Amino acid sequence: MELTSDQLKQYDGTDPSKPIYLAVKGRIFDVTTGKSFYGPGGAYAMFSGKDASRALAKMSKNEEDVCASLDALSDKEIGVLNDWEKKFEAKYPIVGRVVP
C-alpha cells in the first residue's frame, strides 16, 4: 500500500472503523494493537496518522518535530531513531510506505 502524507492522516485513530497507522522513515506501521498509546487520548496519539521519524529521533513530543524530516539530526539522534525503528519492526506489521 502507498499513501501520501494527506492520506495517512485519515489513519490517526479518530475513525474507529479504520486502523491506526504511524510511519517511521517512510514505512507505515499498523499500530492499532497499541491503541491505548496511539489512539485518541493516548500518550503518543500525536504521532498517529503521521511520519513521526524526527520526533522519535529527538525523543520529542513537540508538534513541530512530528514530521519525516531527518535534516540536521545528530548521529546520536539517528541512532535513537534506528532503535525505535527496530522496536516498531518487532512489534507492529509494516503495511506500506509514504509516497510524495
Domains observed in the chain:
2-98 (3.10.120.10)
DSSP state of 81: H
pTM of the model: 0.95
Nearest-angstrom CA–CA distance, 86 and 99: 21
18 contact partners, CB below 8 Å, separation of at least 6:
10, 11
Q: What is the DSSP string of 55-67?
A: HHHHT---GGG-S
pLDDT of the residue at 79: 98
Report pLDDT digits (tens) over 53-62: 999 999 999 9
Report pLDDT digits (tens) over 2-56: 999 999 999 999 999 999 999 999 999 999 999 999 999 999 999 999 999 999 9
Report pLDDT digits (tens) over 70-99: 999 999 999 999 999 999 999 999 999 999
